[in-house]
Amino acid sequence: MDPNFPTPPLDDYLYWESKYQSGETGWDRGAPSPALIEVIRLLPPPKRVLVPGCGTGNDVRYLASLKIEAVGIDFAPSAIETAKKKAHSPFEKYILGDIFSLPQQFHGSFDLIWEHTCFCAIPPSKRPNYVQSMYNMLRSDGLFLGIFFLDTESSDEPPPYCFTLSEIDRHFDPYFQLEAEWLPSFCYPGREGEEIVRLYKKLS
Ligand SMILES: C[S@@+](CC[C@H](N)C(=O)[O-])C[C@H]1O[C@@H](n2cnc3c(N)ncnc32)[C@H](O)[C@@H]1O
């Protein structure tokens, strides 16, 4: 790690807010994840989906367009403001908040969680909290669907924070059963071969 570029405090909303305010949002492709489009039609239709770290709501809007109640959470005010401005469906909901302190009324209330570039955006020390928080939000037998980067090389300037699949296993295995994993047929241009989709079921 270059000492001139200390790790930014990624658990501080001000870091992310500054990125949205300055327009340094290279992760935001302005369109839903192609892998989400591919897989959502193959699953039993969920009634209610949580999208943690939803950014400007590309995936939430897509789910809502399928008449699925989709709740996006992000702690960057500018991201949520943009998401709300772009919203056009009553199925689309946004909450300005921290995924590590979600409201009690959300507990056990989601059929599905869609993870897309949130896990790699949080500090590694918070991964256990992330998995616990997602577990708490799902109803019994709820599904966790995520697209994860396969790149295991560490970066001098996260995000994204890198991880290995066995690192994911270590965190998810006590709480979730891996139902399936596959390389997506569709992805954003430039991410070919870089991602894997994993489908987990909540353990009781
Ligand atoms: C790399 S961006 C991805 C955004 C979106 N998923 C996308 O693909 O466009 C990560 C997002 O996670 C949000 N985030 C990071 N930590 C968070 C936390 N603890 N609670 C809520 N949002 C968080 C950031 O504000 C940012 O919008």
Which residue has a Cα nearest atom 27 of ligand 1?
Answer: 55
Report residues of the chain scoring pLDDT below 70. 1-10, 151-158
Domain membership of residue 198 (yes or no) is no
Domain membership of residue 15 (yes or no) is no
Domain that holds residue 97: 33-189
**CATH number, residue 129:** 3.40.50.150
Domain membership of residue 44 (yes or no) is yes
Q: Find the 10 Cα to ligand 1 centroid distance in Å.
A: 10
| Neighbour count for residue 35 (Cβ, 10 Å) | 25
Domain membership of residue 5 (yes or no) is no
Domain membership of residue 3 (yes or no) is no
Q: Find the 55 Cα to ligand 1 centroid distance in Å.
A: 5
- Total domains in the chain come to 1
| Neighbour count for residue 137 (Cβ, 10 Å) | 24
Domain membership of residue 196 (yes or no) is no
Q: Is the dihedral of CA 130, 124, 82, 147 positive or negative?
A: negative
Tokens of 111: 């059929």
Domain membership of residue 73 (yes or no) is yes
Q: What is the pLDDT of residue 2?
A: 38
Ligand 1 pocket: which of 118, 132, 148 to mutate (most atoms within 8 A of CB): 118
Q: Tell me which amino acid residue 74 is.
A: D
Select from 167, 201, 196 the least CA-distant residue to 35: 196
Looking from the CA of residue 28, the nearest atom of ligand 1 is: 9
60 lines ligand 1 (CB under 6 A): no
CA distance linking residue 128 with residue 196, whole number of Å: 20
Q: Find the 56 Cα to ligand 1 centroid distance in Å.
A: 9
Q: Tell me which amino acid residue 138 is.
A: L
